[in-house]
Structure 1
């Protein structure tokens, strides 16, 4: 009985620990969740409330735009979204991210993308494709950047999905 109880407790936690999306040379893999059982107008309002609360500590404002009956987009910023080491120094990067949310039938697809990467307040020329060599392999310079950015992306995606599903 005790083993059954532990199994019931830990199996859902393992699912929560799994990554939702991963970064590939062509960008992040889209995530699909069941579409919340509420009208689009309510999902849009929930999205605005989520963006406001999730981006509350950021210096720049968020934006919810391109709202249609089939989806919407959310832009926001994230401090310390990922880090990289170079010659023993740690460099933290800030990102502007976009969530592209589309609805089709009973499915909600969310695509996480990073159109801009900053060091402090300065826009860099770094793009996500720079993390990878031409053969698709991760460059050694980005060994720590990729997993730390994936962690940030998954945190944002989980937060958004949980909020709109309430």
Structure 2
């Protein structure tokens, strides 16, 4: 139930993100559009979700991002799963409960994600000019994603609380 709720929320955020480009098109700062799905994946990684289920949700949301955007199919699919696994591995040491930690986690993760995307595009891309054209967008993108991340974390926390099962239901299932 929880994974379905996060998937639906991720798809809704992806729709908002795709329309946000039109709203912010009057601002002439390349890369200012935040990634709304990435903080949701960070929340799942930090809050100790099942590795298989969290990676599956990250995979589907990454594939949907590939289909909505103009990126090569598989780029965001791979990078979202990789970011989920990296954040989950570091999640034991990170407590993203405060807004400052959420901002720091989102900023660092978005920068790592941008480096991964740039690296993959420079290795597998057909045009050599593309990485040089998009690397200046990494910092504004990371800053805007970090700025919006506390709102996404709050939304994810509400979904997490709303889909929590009682201990009696889990005991009846045998988990």
* Structure with more of its chain in strand, by fraction: 1
State the TM-score, normalized to the length of structure 1.
0.33
Higher RCO (CA 8 Å, separation ≥ 6 residues): 2
State the TM-score, normalized to the length of structure 2.
0.31
Task: Work out which of the two has the higher radius of gyration on C-alpha atoms and give 1 or 2.
Answer: 1
* Structure with more of its chain in helix, by fraction: 2
